[in-house]
Structure 1
Amino acid sequence: MNLVTSILQHAMDDPKRIALTDQQSSLTYSVLVHRIKRIALGLKQQHVHGHDKIVILSANRIEFVEVFLGAVYAGCIPVPLDPKWTKAEVDAVIEQCQPAMIFADQALANNLSLEDREIRLLTFSDEEEGSYDRWLEPLQPEAEMDDTNECLFIGFTSGTTGMPKGYLRSHLSWIKSFEATSEAFRLNPMEHFSAPGPFVHSLSLFALMQSLYFGATFHIIRHFTAGKVLELCKQVPEVILFVVPTMIESMMQEASPGQTRIQALISSGGKWSEASMMRCKEIFGDAKLYEYYGSSEASYISYTDVYADNKPDSVGRPFNGVEVSIRDEHFQEVPSGTIGQLYIRSGMIFSGYDHLPDETASVFRDGWLRLGDYASMDADGFLRLAGRAKNMIISGGLNVFPEEVESVLQRLPEIAEVMVFGVPDVYWGEAVTALVRWNGEKRLSTEEIKQYCRHDLASYKAPKQLITVDHFIYTSSGKIARHAMKESVKRVMI
């Protein structure tokens, strides 16, 4: 089963349908397939073989998509790298994966150290004809598809707490994910998609490939701004947007009620406050709003229809085909409503970490994937996350999950954003501490915060100190960069 097969079929059934557009240029399905085949032929002429790796270091652009799919058509494995990585991170990943060729934005080529490596580099450029264009021009699409490779691509974790890890995703795992989300999100019509985040991240890359898999038009936004996305939504009714909460917050600051006709906002990458969700309904009217919980390794796990489910503290019900098990430290299932380690089993999970057999083995047990999250499931089948195991604070010998505390504090209208973490403390071991970006001029005291928390949290979970910050640092996928924030606060506290 090969993801490109459906794209080839769309090119036959509806050749003039626009597959990709970036508001400056567009490719029909027919032209996209023609270019995919030319790229595959070029790879073969470079003596690139099936299962060889093809690195792509690029911002969001049409060339990223056609190279990705051309590599897949040729039986190779595309490996997208994050343009925001340091030169050291890029070099380390290239050393690990040993690509046969590299395709890169001209502006990013300086982040490559290829002096001692025999790797062909081709570059994209907006200013002039790049080496990629010159390479592609004489090629004719004679290559046949190599569909023997089960691996679709190698992606990388964000690397916020260490070097990025490569994860292997199969064609079948993503095709099953397309089917699961189509059923859950009830998207109709599926004619226009956009995901303004970087293609190097699962959320946007998945939305892009889902759009092409179903024969829709994908609208490329090179760099997110709220204005660009809102302008697209005015021009293209019924667009389906895959976004992170920070993007929606930015859009709500600039949008007015009734300006757009968005079919659906599909959000992941962070939990919303209930107040923000209600404001979203006021501004975007009849747009469907879905939140989903997933990961690069697990793909889709659970989802919630924000306006229909009325479970603001949950991450929703499992997608069709996803089995969930909550277990204790002895791998025994716990009763309903009890917090334990979260395991899942589905046809959507990843195949393992690239060149890391021990790490792969450590996250699987008897066919179950361990997420590294603590969670509970209520009697209605809705999942509630307690927090990440790696973020857990031990204060006074008791476990505190920062995410649980954050979800309570985010309900306060005075708080715009918050991050909770543990600060070493002689008495407590770790003192529960909240970094707060305030919403306006009003500030709450630590005692007022503690009083508020008593309604929903045990007293030992309430923050013992507050630190005001002007802004947060984010990962390139739009999440708060916890490690970077901790380090920046440590420097201030010393």
Structure 2
Amino acid sequence: MIYRLTILSRSPTMAPFNGQRGGTYVHIADQILKNGGMLPHKTALVYKDRTRTYRDVETDLHSYRNALSAKAKECGFVRPLAFAIDIENQDELLLVFLAAASLGWTGIPLNRKWTNNERLQALARAEADVLFTDRPISEAECAVWDSRQVNETTEIEADRFAQGNDLFYLGFTSGSTGAPKAYVRTHHSWTTSFQPAAETFQLQSTNRVSVPGSLFHSLFLFAAVHTLHMGATLYLEPTFSPFDVLETIKGEQVDVIYGVPTMIEAFVKASSNETLEQVDTIIVSGAKWSKIQVGRAQTQFPNAKLYEFYGASELSFISSLHHRSQSTLPPTAVGRPFPGVTIQADDEEVLHVKSPYLFAGYKGGAPVKEWETVGDIGFIDKTGVVHVKGRKGNMLIIGGINVYPEEVEQLAKEIEGVEEAIAIGKAHPYWGSQMELYIKGRYLSQEDKKQIRTRLKEVLPPIKRPRRLHLVEAFPLLPSGKVDRQALRSGRYE
């Protein structure tokens, strides 16, 4: 039986971080700037061979604020800017983003892996006023500021600070089910979630936090900003190399790791069965964490609390799951609603979210509604646990039956040896669609393929069974890092 309920998760009384801080923050850099005076000598940010204290971060933020404000006046800009950032060094990108956001500008981190055409499309979609970059750009329909030539020693002091309802961030959806969309957020949508996130994941200012992904992705950008907001120590990486990140984790006694499931899997493979007992917390999002993957992480990080949160770029936190305390839940389970979030499933099982953490809308689109959805299909069981069956945009109609590829993918990933599974639909003259399953795994053979097919036959009704299985060494990826389902569906990858 499916229960269509509305579950309200009430925010508990939130304790300040270590009894020191709490309250409402005007903009996302507000507390970070204050930390310069409160924690002047504490290590704030580590990147490559450079270490910054909180006083250093405060100084750098004011320098960038002054320099950007002076440059804007020099160029004749008087309104808040849509400010695209294309900088290689992650630490500088973060500080420039925070400085721009604190001025009331909308920061737009760009993906360094984009082609020139993809970058131009993103700038146009974002309606960027300025591109701030550290490399030569010969073509752009906006002002281009060379980051190496912006004068950080200007005597002009920026006096404007953003307000909570100002826009501060423009991001791009992954594009896994269509063209990427540009969405915008207010400061309030993030600052309101800082304390609930710290409470939910039991984070504190004493943590040493590894954020090993690109700050182009909202998961890692939020993690970085939140870490500095708490007064903890942040470790960023130039690129994701599991061996290098593990060396940092071991050498710096890192105790909190953010990642996506494939990153944690990469750590397991790179570790040579060496356990990392000092890691206290792992926080995963971006894709469903399979039980087999969770089991391997538990072995690799024996003392770590393993959290997974379900969310979306537009909706932010929706629900969270603590794997060690909720290990008996089925693969569709994504935990209980995040504090302050209300979730309901309509008659078609589309999940809708009411939350203080919602985005402000799509660029050029309609205003955000009180209840928002990204088209995920699911239900809420009688115990209040949220389940996600799949994305409406991925749904297949096979013989008149709605089939969600994600359901098959999750079952496949519970089979030993399967690292990743992607199911797509191919047109069929009789059935309408038929499902094909692409599987990636180490050392999988044709015999393994037969066993996978047998196992799926045991757990799936005939209409949901994939008609073809493909073993692949790698998947085509979108610039966001997610699998390019369109490439698989069109046959461009085979």
TM-score, normalised via structure 1 length: 0.88
The answer to whether the aligner puts 1:131 opposite 2:149 as a matched pair is yes
Matches within 5 A, 1:41-190: 41-46=66-71, 47=73, 48-106=77-135, 109-110=136-137, 113-114=139-140, 117=141, 119-123=143-147, 130-132=148-150, 135-136=151-152, 138-140=153-155, 142-148=157-163, 150-160=166-176, 162-188=178-204, 190=206
State whether residues 56 and 78 of structure 1, in contact with CA within 8 Å, keep that contact through their aligned partners in structure 2. Answer: yes
Alignment of structure 1 residues 397-416 onto 2, 5 Å: 397-416=400-419
Q: Please give the per-residue CA displacement for 1:370-425, whole angstroms capped at 9, x wherever unaligned.
A: 12110011111111111000100111111100001111111211433211111111
Q: Given residue 236 of structure 2, which amino acid in structure 1 is its aligned partner?
A: I
Report SS of the residue matched to 2:225: helix
Structure 1: distance between partners of 2:142 and 2:168: 25
Report the residue type matching 1:74 in the other structure: L
Report if aligned partners of 1:435, 1:467 keep a CA contact under 8 Å in 2: yes
2:19 paired residue number: none
Q: Is the 8 A contact 1:341 1:375 kept in 2?
A: yes
Q: Deviations over 1:256-285 (max 9, x none)?
A: 333452121111111222122112111111
1:194 to 2:210 alignment: yes
Question: What amino acid sits opposite 1:28 in the alignment?
Answer: T
1:18/1:27 contact within 8 Å kept? yes
**Residue 237 of structure 2 is aligned to residue 221 of structure 1:** yes
1:304 aligned partner, one-letter code: L
Q: Quick check: 1:434–1:465 contact (8 Å CA) kept in 2?
A: yes
Distance in 1, matches of 2:376 and 2:311, equals 11
Q: Distance in 2 between matches of 1:436 and 1:139?
A: 56
Of residues 416, 421, 428 in structure 2, which corresponds to 1:425? Answer: 428
Which SS does the other structure have where 1:174 is aligned? helix
1:330-345 aligned at under 5 Å gives the runs 340-345=349-354
Distance of 2:390 and 2:177 partners within structure 1 = 17
CA distance in 2, matches of 1:225, 1:186: 27
| Cα distance in 2 for residues equivalent to 1:416 and 1:191 | 30
Deviation digits for residues 417-470 of structure 1, max 9, x if unmatched?
Answer: 211111111121111111122442443588755542354332211111112222
Find the aligned partners of 1:57 and 1:473 in 2 and give their Cα distance: 24
Q: Is the 8 A contact 2:90 2:214 kept in 1?
A: no
Q: Which amino acid in 2 is paired with 1:269? A: G
- Partner SS for 2:439: strand
Q: Identity across aligned pairs (percent)? A: 31
Structure 2 stretches lacking a partner, 5+ long: 1-25
Q: Distance in 1 between matches of 2:458 and 2:193?
A: 39
Q: CA RMSD in A?
A: 2.2
For residues 292 and 178 of structure 2, the distance between their equivalents in structure 1, rounded to whole angstroms, comes to 34
Q: C-alpha separation between the residues in 2 aligned to 1:427 and 1:209? A: 52
1:29 aligned partner = 54
Q: Secondary structure at the match of 2:324?
A: helix
CA–CA distance in structure 2, aligned partners of residues 248 and 476 of structure 1? 20
CA contact (8 A) 1:234 1:260 kept: no
Q: Does 1:253 align with 2:269?
A: yes
Asked if residue 482 in structure 1 is aligned to residue 491 in structure 2, the reply is no
Q: Secondary structure at the match of 2:84?
A: strand
Distance 1:26 1:78 in 2: 24
Shift of 1:210: 0.2
Query: Higher RCO, 1 or 2 (CA under 8 Å, sep at least 6)?
Result: 2
CA positional deviation for 1:161: 5.1
**Structure 1 residue corresponding to 2:382, chosen from 364, 379, 399:** 379
Decide which of 364, 382, 386 is 1:355's aligned counterpart. 364
CA contact (8 A) 1:402 1:420 kept: yes
2:39 matches 1:14: yes
In the alignment, does 2:65 pair up with 1:40?
Answer: yes
Q: Are residues 251 and 438 of structure 1, via their aligned partners in 2, closer, same or farther at CA, if it must alter by over 3 Å?
A: closer
Instruction: Verify the 8 A CA contact 1:21 1:218 in the aligned structure 2.
Output: yes
Shift of residue 11 of structure 1? 0.8
SS where residue 371 of structure 1 aligns? Answer: coil
Pick from 464, 483, 491: which aligns with 2:467? 464
1:415 match: secondary structure: coil
The equivalent position to 1:317 in structure 2, one of 331, 336, 353, is 336
Higher normalized helix content (fraction of residues): 1
* Distance change >3 Å, CA 449–CA 150, structure 1 → 2: same
* 1:49 and 1:75 in contact (8 A); partners too: no
Query: Relative to 1, partners in 2 of residues 1:189 and 1:457: Cα closer, same or farther, differing over 3 Å?
Result: farther
Residue ranges of structure 1 left out of the alignment (5+ in a row): 124-129, 330-339
Note closer, same or farther for the CA distance 1:276–1:45 as it changes in structure 2 (3 Å cut): closer
Conservation of the 8 A alpha-carbon contact between 1:474 and 1:480: yes
Aligned to 1:281: 298
Shift of 1:143: 2.1
- How far is 1:190 from its partner? 4.2
Correspondence for 1:396: 399
Alpha-carbon spacing, 1:318–1:444, altered in 2? closer, same or farther (3 Å)? farther
In structure 2, the CA distance between the partners of 1:389 and 1:324, relative to structure 1 (3 Å rule), is same
CA distance in 2, matches of 1:234, 1:260: 10
Letter of the aligned partner of 1:318 in structure 2? P
**1:333 match:** none
Question: Deviation of residue 327 (structure 1)?
Answer: 0.5
SS at match of 2:215: coil
Aligned to 2:318: 301
Which residue in 2 is equivalent to 1:336? none
TM-score, normalised with respect to structure 2: 0.88
Residue 346 of structure 1 pairs with residue 355 of structure 2: yes
Q: 1:353, CA displacement in angstroms? A: 0.7
Are the counterparts in 2 of residues 244 and 478 from structure 1 also a CA contact under 8 Å?
no
CA distance in 2, matches of 1:15, 1:150: 28
How far apart are residue 233 of structure 1 and its match?
0.9
Conserved in 2, the CA contact under 8 Å of 1:391 and 1:401?
yes
Give the Cα–Cα distance (whole angstroms) in 1 for the partners of residues 417 and 254 of structure 2. Answer: 34
Q: Distance in 2 between matches of 1:241 and 1:412?
A: 26
The 1-side partners of 2:447 and 2:464 are apart by 17
